[in-house]
Amino acid sequence: MSKPSLLRSRDTHARVTYVELFFDLVFVFAVTQLSHSLVKHLDLAGALQTLLLLLLGGPALYLAGNIFFKRASAQHYPLSHLVGLGLLALLAPVSMLMTPLMLGAATTAVLVIVAVWETRSFSRGPAPQSGH
C-alpha cells in the first residue's frame, strides 16, 4: 500500500481559505500597531519594547495562524505548534534579561523544533487503524 502524498497535485489550483485571509489582516494590523507604538515612544526603551514584541509576537502569530489553518483544512490541532506557542510563552518573562540576538536565536530555535517535530510526524505516516 503506498503512502498518500502530502503535496497537492499540480493539476489543481491552490485555494486561499478565509482563515488565511483573516490572519493576513491580523498580521498587517499587528505590524501597524507596533509601528505606531514605536513612533509614540521614539527612544531606546520604546525601541527595545517594540523589538521584543516583534521577536516574540511574530513567531507566535505565525504558529497561531498555522494552527487555525490546519484546524480548518485537516480537522486537527497540531501538537507541535501548540507546544511551540507554549515555549514562546515561557520565553516572554525572561526576554527582558536576554539580548535581542539571544532572543532572536531562542525564537528561531523554537520554530526549528516545531518544524522538525512536524516533519518527523508526517514521515511516520498515518497511525495504524484497528481492523474489525
pLDDT one-digit tens code per residue, 45-81: 777 777 777 788 888 888 888 888 787 777 778 888 9
pLDDT one-digit tens code per residue, 71-115: 777 777 888 899 999 999 999 888 888 888 898 899 999 999 999
Q: In the predicted model, is pLDDT for residue 120 greater than 80? A: yes
- Would you state the cell numbers that stand for residue 117, as one nine-digit string? 517535530
For the chain, the structural domain boundaries read 18-123
Q: Are 52 and 96 in contact (CB under 8 A)?
A: yes
User: How far, in Å, CA of 116 to CA of 122, rounded?
Assistant: 10
Output the pLDDT for position 41.
Answer: 77
Q: Are 81 and 67 in contact (CB under 8 A)?
A: yes
User: How far, in Å, CA of 90 to CA of 73, rounded?
Assistant: 29
Output the pLDDT for position 125.
Answer: 59
